[in-house]
Structure 1
Amino acid sequence: MATIEQLYQTLSERRRPEDVAQIVIELTADGLTTEERLLLEKAAKGSLARNVFGYTSMLQVFAEAKGAGKQITKAIEIFKLDDNGKSDYNNQKDIADFINFVSPMIHKTVGKNDFKTDRLNKSQRKESGLDLSKRNYNKKWRLLTRIEKKLLKFIREGKKNEFQKIAKHGLAHTITFEDFSSDLNTACFIAYYNSRCNLRSVFTNQSQERPFDEISDILLKRCTGEESNFLDVLRKDKTVKPNSTNWWAISHIYTGQLVLSNLTDEQKGTLLGKWTTVLQDIAELLDEVWTASNINRETMVVRRGNDSTTWNNTAGAWNKARDNWMNLIYSLGLDYILEEICFGKVLRLMAADVVAWHFSTGGKLDPNTEVWNKIPLPWEVFQNKAQCNKELVVQYCEQAGIDPEKSGWIAPRVHGVAEFKPTPELVHGVTVANPFLATVLKRHRYYSGKNAKPLYPESN
């Protein structure tokens, strides 16, 4: 039988909506209305648990940054240190503590990593009391340098992975178990909507599937008390209190005006502060990637040398954070702020073949690109190098033939309710009918943009 702990675990995973719907049914079976059950069954019938050969080729977890465990294990051996096993070298603080502890042993200054100018020469080593050969000293010095570089890479990769999660589901992965488990209706909506948000993008020349579907809608209505006969006496998990929707927890993944209207101004202010900080952090990485890449701002079509994966994940995080920020300032009645500062959206890079496909079917360049081309870059606004306000954005939207409000440039975006559709098995965005076949195609690099290996290589 499924438990609330298992449902909570899905927040840090990329489980298919079908599989999360199955857990929701198991937890709420006795309290579902006929309509609720029919809708949830629509998804759950495709869960892996209900299929004899249930299998998916798609990873069900987010990528995680790899720490300095390998390098530090080697350093412990070379420096002949005692490893108490209490440190976690997939943790930024523990890696930094190790560097700060070991570096003084060879009189190395942390951060000074130039091989020509920052090492000690023979006389300096003697003066420092280091009884080490040049070879031994260099070996240890180089290893510590590599660990420092690994730490910097680990921090950067950690940021990229964090922003990928934010791009998908906002702050869902930061919700505490205490808040999540305080109400079962709350938990079910968050977990299912989270799984919908985490769906992968499909290779298409049309818009992507919207995450808020008919099942998300009915689960949110349960939180408001609509269309729900969920009774505590019938519920199997007795640790969850009845009729105590935790709107604070929901607001970390969904900031519709209904949700925000159930928060206090203090809670909304706290959330606004969180999202403003997130925007600032994302802007720093966008600036870094933009500076290092030769991105064609006029078309936003990928070309050689662009780090499209990092850019698109980070741009997605920016737009998600910006949407939440916009929802909150309107809910707080602070939309007058836009008269002074109105951050623009950030466009993703598009693959050339998708753009060509789009044009071949009668499409044209997204008019949002025209607005993006004219307004100041978001990180420049944060750095006080440029100003961008509502009046400027409205002006450029009108020139591009875009409604500035409905398009989300100056107001919260309004979404509809999508119909539930089974999760496709994807290989680099391309739908494949069979998950086993998808695994084979991935292994042979089909649809990856890299040199594919033939499924049946010719024998010599």
Structure 2
Amino acid sequence: MSIAETSAEDALVALHTSLDERRRPEEVAHLVLRVVGGQLGLRDRMTLGWAARTAARWNGWSSMSADFARPIGGARQIDAAARLFELPPGGVDPDDPVSLLDFSARLSESLGAVDPARLDFLRDRLNREDRAAAGIELSKRQYNRRFRVTQRLLAKADRLAVEQTKRQLTMVARAGFAASIERDAFLADPWAGCFVAYLTAKRKLRREFTLSGRDNPYDDIADLLFRHCTADPTTDWWMIAQAHPTPTVLARLTEAQRGELLGRWWATMRQVAALLKQVWTASEFDRATMIVRRGNDSSTWNLLCGAYNAARAAWLAALDAAGSLGLLQASCPGKAMMLIAADLAAWHRSTGGGLHPDVGVWARLPLPWDVLDGTATCTRADVEAACADGGVDPVTSGWTGPRAPAATGVFRPTPELVHGVSIADPLWASVLRAGGAFSGRVTKDSLEQTPIPGDVVVSELPERDGHIKP
């Protein structure tokens, strides 16, 4: 069923589902129009309607995924283990790492493993005498096969837990706690639900390769929806605060609600900081520039930085709303800087620019995870001194308080991107992506020998010898 044929009730359910997806904002705007379009004035309806109509570009098709990558469960490993151990199917949740660990522990015990969480093929297998003493009547070959399957099941449980955590933190970085909003609460307040769904869709947009910075996700459509929420005395501000924890929203919560959010964001900061420390320790970063080096896992690092900085900004906003910014005098963990691509950094330098001023502040302060675990001390005075050295306003830049709100953005249709480069249409985007264009790797021979028409790449790019290179 197309969106145009969707009922208002079904459209609202689809909006709730979109909280855990990556739909284009124009698709979400179309669903919003189905839900609240009849309650809008002419001007607001025209604003929302124009955005909704752009969802039909290219017959609604896009070359980009409408979801964040979802971890693949352990169904294949469970089936292999069940066949080899001759166990009945069922009883194990393939998408739950804990369930997989419990299952692997039971299998490990049947193999005589001393520690079910450690299965080293060289050290932990039983020899013939030990198997006989444990009552295991299996040949060496059959025992080894079962041992390897159990090993793979245990490894899958560990990988699944890591990937699920990564996806969860991706959602936190892009949409706060919106993905955890209960369906019943969402359906009970259509205006608040529409605002949260649209704003989070804007926040989930992919970054473009540009010098002009990112558009403010809070645009004219988000603003008109927010104004309707403000005018309604029954608005569920607690739900809105999950995705939009600004001072204006937090001021409408009860003290208990602000305290709960403060605790959740603090816990998230500590969780992400511990993961950042692991990546930092295992890598070699240039802290002074934060330009990517060969071997850096920039994807994982930037994902974690996004989640940490989003949690930190929301924590500061909650502190401010509670009148407790004075606590920063005792401890004020700093931001975490994302890694920047070397070609983008070079482009900045070629146009007379340089590193973002925040990078200098970050380099002057103790590492945030050391502050959070008590290894190092960083107070508000320390942050203000580092900001002064770097020529940064500590308050408006978000180092010691909620960041100053940017000007309300203007909706524009979602561009088709290939590694951040805007492409004229999804068909060309698919071709270029398949050929490895703009990926930083050597392109395939067929693409290298085929010049890209000048009107295919929409965004401005640095040139090499007068020509844009894929």
Counterpart in 1 of 2:35?
27
- For the pair 1:43 / 2:57, whether they are aligned, the reply is no
Counterpart in 2 of 1:301?
291
**Equivalent position amino acid for 2:188 in 1:** S
**Distance (whole Å) between structure 1 residues aligned to residue 92 and residue 446 of structure 2:** 45
**Distance (whole Å) between structure 2 residues aligned to residue 52 and residue 212 of structure 1:** 26
Which among 99, 103, 114 is matched to residue 98 of structure 1? Answer: 103
**Offset from partner CA, 1:54-101 (integer Å, 9 cap, x none):** 2101100111122222122111111111003x5321112221221122
Note the 1:14-413 alignment, pairs <5 A: 14-48=22-56, 51=57, 53-84=59-90, 86-108=91-113, 109-225=115-231, 244-413=234-403
Q: In the TM superposition, what is the alpha-carbon distance from 1:254 to its structure 2 partner?
A: 0.2
**Equivalent position amino acid for 1:99 in 2:** S
Which among 429, 432, 446 is matched to residue 420 of structure 2? Answer: 429
CA contact (8 A) 2:105 2:117 kept: no
CA contact (8 A) 2:435 2:447 kept: no
Gaps of 5+ in 1: 226-241
Q: In the TM superposition, what is the alpha-carbon distance from 1:243 to its structure 2 partner?
A: 5.2
Aligned-residue CA RMSD (Å): 1.5
**Equivalent position amino acid for 1:207 in 2:** G
**Equivalent position amino acid for 2:426 in 1:** P
**Offset from partner CA, 1:137-157 (integer Å, 9 cap, x none):** 111112211211121111111
**Offset from partner CA, 1:254-299 (integer Å, 9 cap, x none):** 0111211111000111111111111111011101111111111111
Q: Name the TM-score, length of structure 2 as normaliser.
A: 0.91
Q: In the TM superposition, what is the alpha-carbon distance from 1:53 to its structure 2 partner?
A: 2.3
**Distance (whole Å) between structure 2 residues aligned to residue 257 and residue 34 of structure 1:** 30
CA contact (8 A) 1:183 1:243 kept: no
**Distance (whole Å) between structure 1 residues aligned to residue 283 and residue 43 of structure 2:** 51
Q: In the TM superposition, what is the alpha-carbon distance from 1:374 to its structure 2 partner?
A: 1.3
Q: In the TM superposition, what is the alpha-carbon distance from 1:178 to its structure 2 partner?
A: 1.6
CA contact (8 A) 1:425 1:431 kept: yes
- Cα separation, partners in 2 of 1:209 and 1:52, compared to 1, 3 Å: closer
**Distance (whole Å) between structure 1 residues aligned to residue 140 and residue 188 of structure 2:** 62
**Offset from partner CA, 1:94-144 (integer Å, 9 cap, x none):** 212211222211112312222222221221111101111112111111221
**Offset from partner CA, 1:204-225 (integer Å, 9 cap, x none):** 1231112111111111010011
**Offset from partner CA, 1:417-446 (integer Å, 9 cap, x none):** 112122111111100001111112112221
- Cα separation, partners in 2 of 1:243 and 1:339, compared to 1, 3 Å: closer
CA contact (8 A) 1:381 1:387 kept: yes
Matched pairs, number: 439
Q: In the TM superposition, what is the alpha-carbon distance from 1:251 to its structure 2 partner?
A: 0.3
- Cα separation, partners in 2 of 1:382 and 1:434, compared to 1, 3 Å: same
Percent of paired sites with the same residue = 38
**Equivalent position amino acid for 1:347 in 2:** M
Q: In the TM superposition, what is the alpha-carbon distance from 1:52 to its structure 2 partner?
A: 6.6
Q: Name the TM-score, length of structure 1 as normaliser.
A: 0.93
**Distance (whole Å) between structure 1 residues aligned to residue 202 and residue 118 of structure 2:** 46
**Distance (whole Å) between structure 2 residues aligned to residue 457 and residue 77 of structure 1:** 48
**Distance (whole Å) between structure 2 residues aligned to residue 385 and residue 300 of structure 1:** 23
**Distance (whole Å) between structure 1 residues aligned to residue 118 and residue 202 of structure 2:** 46
**Distance (whole Å) between structure 1 residues aligned to residue 316 and residue 60 of structure 2:** 41
Q: In the TM superposition, what is the alpha-carbon distance from 1:44 to its structure 2 partner?
A: 1.0
Equivalent residue of 1:376, what SS? coil
CA contact (8 A) 1:182 1:244 kept: no
- For the pair 1:442 / 2:448, whether they are aligned, the reply is no
Counterpart in 2 of 1:12?
20
Q: In the TM superposition, what is the alpha-carbon distance from 1:455 to its structure 2 partner?
A: 4.3
- Cα separation, partners in 2 of 1:327 and 1:315, compared to 1, 3 Å: same
**Equivalent position amino acid for 1:428 in 2:** H
**Distance (whole Å) between structure 1 residues aligned to residue 281 and residue 126 of structure 2:** 35
**Equivalent position amino acid for 1:60 in 2:** A
